[in-house]
Copies of this chain bind each other. A is one copy, B any other.
Amino acid sequence: MGSASVIQTNPELDLVLERVVDVPRELVWAAWTKPEHIKKWFTPAPWTTVDCEIDLRPGGIFRTVMRSPEGQEISGAGCYLEIVPNEKLVWTSALSPGYRPAIKGTGTGSCEELYFTAIILIEAQGTRTKYSAIAIHGDRATSKRHEEMGFYQGWGTALDQLVTLAKTF
């Protein structure tokens, strides 16, 4: 079935970060799919990602533990939906591993409660990469909350960190 899936973005409900970055898409893919890399870029400083688990299969776990400078931890385990190497990565926080519907209040911290599906699209532009990160929400309230939590700045800063890291590969 591969990349012939259904993506329907809605400007009222979704948040999109789009940028061309100066690293090849294979390195962007590597940064997104290996726990040791995720730990180095995924959380905008001064927060850190202290743990990460990746089972890169549909239904497989994508788990991160983020820690604030004060030591507060937010953990969440989502589930991969689509994996097209060097092209597309889709996961959701609305399903736990094994496609199990997530239940509100079972994560630690507030992130678990924010259900969204993330679609990362990467496309070669010479040696650079067109990068799109799309957060898909169920309603306007959740989308607005995600935006107010600092989606654009947070995901933008994390992308800067990803690029800085990928240049060291």
Contacts and interface: CB of A to CB of B under 8 A. Distances in A.
Interface of A: 1, 4-9, 13, 55, 57-61, 81-83, 90, 92-103, 106, 115-117, 119, 136-139, 142
- Interface majority SS (helix, strand, loop, mixed), chain A: loop
Contact of A81 (B60, B99, B115): B99
B8 A97 contact: yes
Given A83-B1, A95-B94, A95-B117, A7 B100 contact: no
A102 B98 contact: no
Q: Which 5 A-B pairs have the closest CB atoms?
A: A6-B59, A8-B98, A94-B101, A101-B115, A101-B138
A6 B100 contact: no
Contacts of A96: 138
Given A100-B13, A101-B115, A101-B137, A58 B83 contact: no
Contacts of A102: 94, 138
Given A95-B117, A138-B96, A5 B101 contact: no
Nearest to A102: B138
Contacts of A83: 1
14 contacts: A1-B58, A4-B57, A5-B60, A6-B59, A6-B60, A8-B98, A8-B100, A9-B98, A58-B82, A93-B101, A95-B95, A100-B137, A101-B117, A103-B139
